[in-house]
A and B are shown apart, each in its own frame.
Chain A
Amino acid sequence: MKTDRKLHLARQRKQVIAFNLFRILSITVVAILFIILSFIIFNGIKVISWEFLTAMPKEGMTKGGIFPAIVGTLCLISGSMLFAGPVGVLSAIYINEYTRDGVLKRFIKLMTNNLAGIPSIVFGLFGMSLFVNTLGFGDSIIAGSFTLGLLTLPVVIRTTEESLKSVPDSFRHGSYALGGTKLQTIRKVVLPIAFPNIITGLILSIGRVSGETAPILFTVAAYFLPKLPHSIFDQVMALPYHLYVISTSGTNITESRPMAYGTALVLIAIVLIVNISANGLRKYFGNKVKMN
């Protein structure tokens, strides 16, 4: 009895220690994130103004605004999603709904997973060689969008695949049993159910696109271009590259430091807004699917 009790106490103590350890670790992580975020907000908020958001950069990028970089980033987000969205979703549909378990499926999975592991600078180089040079797009929105799109393609494919996989087979069987073809089953049953999650995955990958610097470095991003693009074959400024420029190689780094924090804040805000709207959209479509 006595030893039992000892054992019990020892066990309990271990539990308590483990629990506290986990708690301390997770609190630390949250705290670090919080500090970084407040640091950027604190430093960045000072320069945020209507002018900062809507004006061209001036005086060697130490004054004025970041308007063209915001527009550029928005262009690249839309462009890359227009490419990676349909291609990724269709690929995932093919992989999940049409291929049977076997060598082909495993090969495609292996490739997409490896694609996801390639450093983004490599995508930049590849994009430059293929889109900028070989296809002759030059440094342009279209070259940058394709490059960024390629980069997010594995993520889009994987999240879409997961969304499709989470649709129970009983729905598919219900449709087949009524004489639905495979295509009808996918279009009218599977996709509507998976849609909220697919959209969420797509939007979340936008977060990644908007922050990438390496892939746009050689494919689209302009060092200083105080005007808006007229076509998809124009170069643009982009927030992450602009941030890099004014904090490392601008004309006057110390003077443009506040601008850098402001730019970082805008970038974070875009990602945040995108994520929040992803959540909202998922809820909205989630309800809609049920009511339909």
Chain B
Amino acid sequence: MSNDQYLMTNNLSDIINKPVRTDLVIATRYVNLFYGDFQALKGITLEIFPNTVTALIGPSGCGKSTYLRLFNRMNDLIDGVKITGNIIVDGEDIYAPETDVVELRRKVGMVFQKPNPFPKSIFENVAYGLRVNGVNDKKFIQAKVEQSLVRSALWDEVKDKLKKSAFELSGGQQQRLCIARALAVEPSVVLMDEPASALDPISTAKIEELIYELKKNYTIIIVTHNMQQAGRVSDTTAFFYLGELIEYGDTKEIFTNPKDKKTQNYITGRFG
């Protein structure tokens, strides 16, 4: 990406000139994203603190997934995407030319909306990230796979059938396997895009519990459609509407005392 793409389209020199805080795990500064001519994100500035869960909420199509994909550069895979602004992870501008995208994606894990385990064994699914990152030590891989499955609260259910196909697991188990797979490479940030939307209530509850646990060791950003879920699992909440960040703050605050009318309408279910 060339340097001039970092130039702001709007005249917001105050934001540009403000030094970037490097203690933040994640921050975006005046980020615009275009799919061709369509602007999906409009000047999003946001700071996310370590070991918190941040919920991204908002009606369908408001740009939550698009925003989430900024942090592991998955938008790069889509033709015709143009991004301006700064996106900081671990104090580094991840869209700088010298960024190693592969390294970034190891550091910033992702769990997708629909469970997408590979058509491999349960063990190989979790080991995959290690293998592609050049880890060959069998003992280490074994230990790491077990640790990740324990952390994703799946170990007890699969420890006797690690060699079985991941497709034999239920949807909820598959999603926890995908979380284990992401954890195995020791990310510092985990992105989750509606991770429970395809699951039954019991599996959803398990995933939520898990998110709460994971917060101790990871910074989590989760997109959710479900207000109650956002209220239950997150510390901070960001409300998006038509590509704009309308309101961002403490989850309790947002849910009990939203400052913006649009936020209030959305939370009380008047649109969405």
Contact = CB atoms under 8 A, between A and B. Distances in A.
Interface of A: 100-101, 168, 170-171, 173-181, 184, 188-189, 192-193, 289-292
Interface string B129-172: 10111000000000000000000000000000001110100000
B79 interface: yes
A176 B79 contact: no
A173 B110 CA distance: 10
A101 B79 CA distance: 9
A289 B74 contact: no
Given A193-B119, A289-B119, A292-B119, A173 B112 contact: yes
15 contacts: A168-B116, A171-B118, A174-B112, A174-B116, A174-B118, A175-B118, A178-B181, A179-B129, A180-B128, A180-B129, A180-B132, A192-B119, A192-B120, A290-B167, A292-B124
Interface in B37-85: 72, 74, 77, 79
A176 B112 CA distance: 12
Contacts of A180: 102, 128-129, 132
A176 B124 contact: no
A177 B121 contact: no
Nearest to A100: B79
Given A291-B121, A292-B119, A177 B102 contact: no
Q: Which 4 A-B pairs have the closest CB atoms?
A: A178-B129, A179-B106, A177-B110, A170-B116
Given A184-B132, A290-B165, A173 B77 contact: yes
Given A178-B109, A180-B132, A173 B124 contact: no
B112 A178 contact: no
Nearest to B109: A177
B114 interface: yes
Nearest to B100: A179
A178 B182 contact: yes
Contact of B128 (A100, A170, A173, A178): A178
B26 interface: no
Nearest to A184: B132
Nearest to A170: B116
B31 interface: no
A146 B240 CA distance: 60
A100 B105 CA distance: 22
Interface centre among A100, A170, A178, A193 (most CB of B within 10 A): A178
Contacts of B164: 291
